[in-house]
Amino acid sequence: MVAKRDFVVRFAGEGGQGMVTASEALAAAAAQVGYHVMTFVTFPSQIMGGPTWSQCRISVTPALSNGDELDVLVAFNKEAYNVHKDELREGGILIYDSEVFSIEDVGGDSTNIVALPYQELGKSTGNPRAANMVILGAIAEFVNWPDKYLSDFNVKRFTRGRPNDEEVVSANEMGLQLGKKASTDSGFSLGELAVPNPPDYEQILIKGNDSLSTGAIAGEVELFVGYPISPATTILTFMEEHLRGEGKFVYQSSSEIESITAISGGGFAGKRSMTSTAGPGFSLMSEGLGMAWMMEIPIVVVDAQRGGPATGLPTKTEQSDLYMAMHPAHGDAQLPVIAPGTVEECFYAAMHALNWAERYQGPVIVLSDHMLTERTQNIRKPDPNLIPIERREVYSGSNGYQRYDGSSVTPMPIPGGPGAYVANASEHDGIGDTTHLPQRHVDGTERRFNKLKTLEDSLYESRNTQHSVAVMPWGGQKGPTHEAYEFLMEKGVDVAWYYTMFLSPLNPKLIKELQDKDLVIVPELNYLGQFASILRQHRINAVAITQYTGLPFKVHRLINEITNMVEQHANESTKAGV
């Protein structure tokens, strides 16, 4: 039998029951032996309780999406079983705690069902926390993992220099064995998971927000002010922990209005300044973002998207803030937007954003999304040296400087140095005094837009560009679309691939290439088809595949829809005789 190449496990239950810990432990153990892993988490917004699930995908090739179907479902309670059972693939295995509910009561059907009283078994090891190990031991056995994988993980993870290390490790080991035995006794198997072939480059295992935050530190962020909000909070807490050293400042603000105006003050005073938020906070930043654009102050704002509008779906994923990211404020303004599509890109997006802000002297938006923020993934170890640090040009002449004269970026005076001016959010003359002369508004507006041209040299991906139909995902849906695309390539479907995380301004060369396509298909998680409509503004024939469930795309849906659209296009072209 051919070994399995891919393995998807979902842990579903109620917040606080340890689902996330379990799936992350499984991912970490698999990554240690060289598998590719990706976790996906949905949180309830309350601290205790509320339906939660976490999924772990383990693969011999890089994991691009969460995986459409489940090989194993671990149901921590009745509700979880009912909600998730239909996603178990045929032949998949259900594990449930037989002390918590009875499978007969909920009409358990013919699926392979393993009654595993893991909490009781956990307790029997002397350490109730070993319950997770019981589950992992059972799961590992279904795919014939050598004992060593989890045993080694256990020793490494729990040898923490604490007095009770040994007890914990041995209780966990006992848990693993109990799970394994239950699994063997059940007689079920999923077939062997192929041995991993570890990549020949160095890797790290990291969450999207940690990657982005580490990238910001690599990008030499100096001042960070933020207000807690899901799913951006972990960027703030990361900075509170790690942004240290001479001249660095980090603080929890009293609101997002304070965050945006404070970092504008920081950027004005010469520091690389940044904040992070999600939709509701981003809305509050609207006026401040317009201010920074008008005043020409380098700042970076991360919007970790969640479902909207208003308070929306705080713990679910969506890509519905793109319009807002580009045009967050009243008046003529268009902000640069970088939307990373993978956990690895989160790192570089933060570095690029800090550079962009310095280069064009204005606010830059990093548009992340819930799909990326809490996901743990193995990635190639990021190399900060790949992105040289860019710094704003600082004015060093004499006083009386007309800071805002000229048609594009000009050197910026920094308080404490020469060239005192007024950073002015009203339309202004060269030195920053308010003015209402029509020509000043013309010059100022054109200058502010001209500066964006300094950002037009960004990179993009393109493959199989000979085809007249292209698919172009953005942000966190890059992964599922990429997986669908690989499948379509194997099938021989004629479709090109385009992708960039630099959504605004788009590289003019990319625009030109896309204009030459008959059709550009944009899978995106929003109702309006926001990126597709932005592409249409560039006279690109873009059509969106939309979804607004709060969940990411399933790969099979993308495969079907893209295939249909390509076929339909081919038929229409034949009819039209082209």
Partner 1 sequence: MTKRNPEYDFKWCPGCGDFGVKRAIELTIKARTNELSIPTENNVMVAGIGCSGNLVHLTDGPQPFGFHGIHGRTLPVAFGVKSANPDLQVMVVAGDGDFLSIGAEHIGPQAKRNLDITCVIMDNGVYGLTKGQSSPTTQLGVVTSTTPGGKIESEVKPFPLYLSLGVSFIASAFSSQPKEMAAMIREAMDYPGFSIVHIQSPCTTYDDTYDVLRGNAKKGIDPLTYDIPDTHDSSSVEAAYDLVNGTGIPLGVLYAAKDPSPLNERFDNLGRKNDSRDVHDLIQSFAIS
HEC sequence for 92-104:
EEEEECCCCCCCC
Considering only residues 14, 173, 210, 524, which one is a binding residue for partner 1 as defined by CB under 8 A?
Answer: 210
CB of 290 to partner 1, least distance (A): 8
291, two tokens: 């201010």
CB of 414 to partner 1, least distance (A): 9
**Is the Cβ of residue 366 or residue 423 nearer to partner 1 in the bound state?**
423
Considering only residues 95, 324, 335, 425, which one is a binding residue for partner 1 as defined by CB under 8 A?
Answer: 425
**Is the Cβ of residue 162 or residue 381 nearer to partner 1 in the bound state?**
381
CA distance 55 to 70: 9
Q: Does 332 help bind partner 1 (rule: CB under 8 A)?
A: no
User: If residue 497 lies in a helix (H) or strand (E), which one and from where to where?
Assistant: strand 496-499
CB of 268 to partner 1, least distance (A): 6
Q: What residues between 335 and 374 interact with partner 1 by CB under 8 A?
A: none
Q: Does 418 help bind partner 1 (rule: CB under 8 A)?
A: yes
Residue 301 near residue 290, CB atoms below 8 Å: no
CB of 502 to partner 1, least distance (A): 23
15, two tokens: 């917040």
CB of 429 to partner 1, least distance (A): 5
**Is the Cβ of residue 73 or residue 206 nearer to partner 1 in the bound state?**
206
**Is the Cβ of residue 431 or residue 489 nearer to partner 1 in the bound state?**
431
CA distance 80 to 531: 35
Q: Does 444 help bind partner 1 (rule: CB under 8 A)?
A: no
**Residues contacting 50, CB < 8 A, separation 6+:** 14, 15, 44
- The burial of 222, by beta-carbon neighbours within 10 Å (0-12 exposed, 13-18 middle, 19 or more buried), is given as buried
CA distance 124 to 410: 70
Q: Residue 361: which of 401, 329, 394, 406 has the closest Cα? A: 394
CA distance 232 to 365: 14
Straight-line distance from the first to the last Cα atom of the chain, in angstroms, rounded to the nearest whole number: 47
Alpha-carbon distances, residue 88 vs 5, 11, 69 (angstroms): 17, 12, 6
**Is the Cβ of residue 41 or residue 114 nearer to partner 1 in the bound state?**
41
CA distance 532 to 542: 5
Considering only residues 13, 117, 231, 270, which one is a binding residue for partner 1 as defined by CB under 8 A?
Answer: 270
With H, G, I as helix, E, B as strand and everything else as coil, classify residue 284.
helix
**Is the Cβ of residue 244 or residue 539 nearer to partner 1 in the bound state?**
244
**Is the Cβ of residue 231 or residue 270 nearer to partner 1 in the bound state?**
270
Residue 68 near residue 554, CB atoms below 8 Å: yes
CA distance 224 to 322: 23
Q: What residues between 378 and 417 interact with partner 1 by CB under 8 A?
A: 378, 381-382, 384, 399, 413, 415-417
**Residues contacting 277, CB < 8 A, separation 6+:** 226, 227, 229, 232, 256, 259, 285, 301, 302, 303, 304
| One character per residue 277-316, x = contact with partner 1 (rule: CB under 8 A) | ----------xx--x---x---------------------
- With contacts defined by CB under 8 A, name the span among 11-19, 128-136, 221-229, 551-559 that binds partner 1: 221-229
With H, G, I as helix, E, B as strand and everything else as coil, classify residue 462.
strand
| One character per residue 229-268, x = contact with partner 1 (rule: CB under 8 A) | -------------x-xxx-xx-x-xxx-xxx-xxxxxxxx
**Is the Cβ of residue 214 or residue 233 nearer to partner 1 in the bound state?**
214
The count of chain residues that interact with partner 1, using the rule CB under 8 A, is 70
Q: What angle do CA 201, 203, 204 make, to 5 degrees?
A: 170
Considering only residues 106, 420, 528, 543, which one is a binding residue for partner 1 as defined by CB under 8 A?
Answer: 420
| One character per residue 8-37, x = contact with partner 1 (rule: CB under 8 A) | --------------------x--xx-----
- With contacts defined by CB under 8 A, name the span among 217-225, 302-310, 316-324, 565-573 that binds partner 1: 217-225
Beta-bridged to residue 70, according to DSSP, are 88
Q: How far is CA 527 from the centre of its chain?
A: 20
CB of 198 to partner 1, least distance (A): 9
- With contacts defined by CB under 8 A, name the span among 142-150, 209-217, 310-318, 490-498 that binds partner 1: 209-217
Considering only residues 222, 318, 344, 524, which one is a binding residue for partner 1 as defined by CB under 8 A?
Answer: 222
CB of 31 to partner 1, least distance (A): 5
**Kind of pairing, strands 112-115 and 88-96?**
parallel
CA distance 247 to 243: 10
Considering only residues 177, 435, 468, 507, which one is a binding residue for partner 1 as defined by CB under 8 A?
Answer: 435
Considering only residues 225, 353, 455, 562, which one is a binding residue for partner 1 as defined by CB under 8 A?
Answer: 225
**Is the Cβ of residue 103 or residue 217 nearer to partner 1 in the bound state?**
217
CB of 556 to partner 1, least distance (A): 30
Considering only residues 204, 389, 528, 543, which one is a binding residue for partner 1 as defined by CB under 8 A?
Answer: 204
User: If residue 534 lies in a helix (H) or strand (E), which one and from where to where?
Assistant: helix 530-537
CA distance 349 to 332: 25
Could you tell me the maximum CA-CA distance found in the chain, to the nearest angstrom?
85
**Kind of pairing, strands 469-471 and 496-499?**
parallel
28, two tokens: 């970490």
CA distance 360 to 143: 53
CB of 256 to partner 1, least distance (A): 10
Give the other-Cβ count within 10 Å of 322's Cβ. Answer: 25
CB of 382 to partner 1, least distance (A): 6
CB of 28 to partner 1, least distance (A): 8
CB of 326 to partner 1, least distance (A): 20
Q: What residues line the site for partner 1 (CB under 8 A)?
A: 28, 31-32, 156, 202-206, 210, 214, 217-218, 222-223, 225, 242, 244-246, 248-249, 251, 253-255, 257-259, 261-271, 273, 287-288, 291, 295, 378, 381-382, 384, 399, 413, 415-418, 420-426, 429, 431-437
